[in-house]
Amino acid sequence: MTEVTIYHNPRCSKSRQTLQLLQEQGYEPQVIEYMKQHFEPDAIKTLLSQLGFVSARELMRSKEDEFKALNLANENDEDKLIQAMIEHPRLIERPIVVVGDQARLGRPPEAVLELVQ
């Protein structure tokens, strides 16, 4: 069976729904609670590539208080955006599901099914 990894925040309803959907499909994904296990810069860069994102900004939750407080809407330095996500993991859009060399955001949760079917 395909190895599936989910970057999960159990406090997020979409993350819980995505995990449940994967389990209903017969997968027991490796669960990484990224709020507890912080990312390294290279891991975020890899995820950005797997997601097909051009900028770290695409992986950020722009409505979070930290986004506004850190004035990230005006930040164009990719390394600074990545560092902000490392220091404030709540800024990371969730959940992220990885299968092989591809990843999808679970928004909506069904979006991850194309990775496992």
Task: Reply yes or no on whether the pLDDT at 79 is more than 70.
Answer: yes
User: What's the CA gap between 40 and 93, in Å, rounded?
Assistant: 16
Catalytic-labelled residue, pool 12, 31, 43, 115? 12
Active site residue 8: no
With contact defined as beta carbons under 8 Å apart, do 34 and 61 qualify?
no
Give the percent of the chain with pLDDT over 90.
95
Q: Are residues 75 and 45 in the same domain?
A: yes
pLDDT, residue 117, reads 80
Q: Are residues 29 and 42 in the same domain?
A: no
Q: Are residues 67 and 100 in the same domain?
A: no
CATH of the domain at 1: 3.40.30.10
Task: Reply yes or no on whether the pLDDT at 1 is more than 70.
Answer: no
Q: pLDDT per residue over 101-110, tens digit each?
A: 999 999 999 9
Q: Are residues 45 and 88 in the same domain?
A: yes
Task: Reply yes or no on whether the pLDDT at 98 is more than 90.
Answer: yes
What pTM did the predictor assign? 0.94
User: What's the CA gap between 80 and 75, in Å, rounded?
Assistant: 8
Average confidence (pLDDT) over 5-14: 96
The first and second tokens of residue 28, run together, are 């027991």
